[in-house]
Amino acid sequence: MAIILASTSPIRCRLLENAGVKFVAEKPLVNEDELKQRAPGLAREALAQHLASAKCLSVSISHPEDLVIGADQVLSFSGKTFDKPASLEDARSQLTELKGKTHTLISAVCCAKGEAVLWQHSDRAELTMRYFSNRFLEDYLAAVGADACTSVGAYKLEGPGLQLFEHIEGDYFTILGLPLLPLLEFLRSTGEIGS
């Protein structure tokens, strides 16, 4: 039996690798926009769990004997949910809207085997962006380039995006998109990794 991460996200892969978990990564075959449209009115936490489960189960179908990990993240601000920016202009717009304010980031993780969800967990963090200058924003976007479009909120907290913030409350791994400590505890409890 193998552990499969239903994601090809470089940061999620790196988090598991750094924790010493042996796994293979596989891209889930899900359409996030379609899933969100089919689940209107879900609370933000329920939406994050719904997306993580869908990713997990989409990979579990073709690997019924393996343990599959799925994860997703939802950014909530001022009554709306942010998606990954579609372009650098969209990233600029998101960051401009978030600057000087606090938003909520919800990360969910799910484990499935044999097309059945065995465990799921979600966590939230509150992040306050500082009031940065337009020049700083342009320099930031020039530095990260297209990477700004790979995460909700257009920031990479593990890199230069850290400079966008003045205050953060919450788990670092949750912010990066994988509540790692609860996941490792689950993997230990099932004997998938050493205890």
Task: Name the residues annotated as catalytic.
Answer: 72
For residue 174, the surrounding DSSP H or E stretch is helix 172-176
CB 82 within 8 A of CB 93: no
Q: Say whether 60 sits in a helix, a strand or coil.
A: helix
For residue 51, which amino acid is it?
Answer: L
How many Cβ atoms from other residues are within 10 Å of residue 61's Cβ? Answer: 12
d(CA 84, CA 105): 13
CA distance readout (Å), 57 to 15, 21, 25, 89, 94: 21, 20, 14, 34, 31
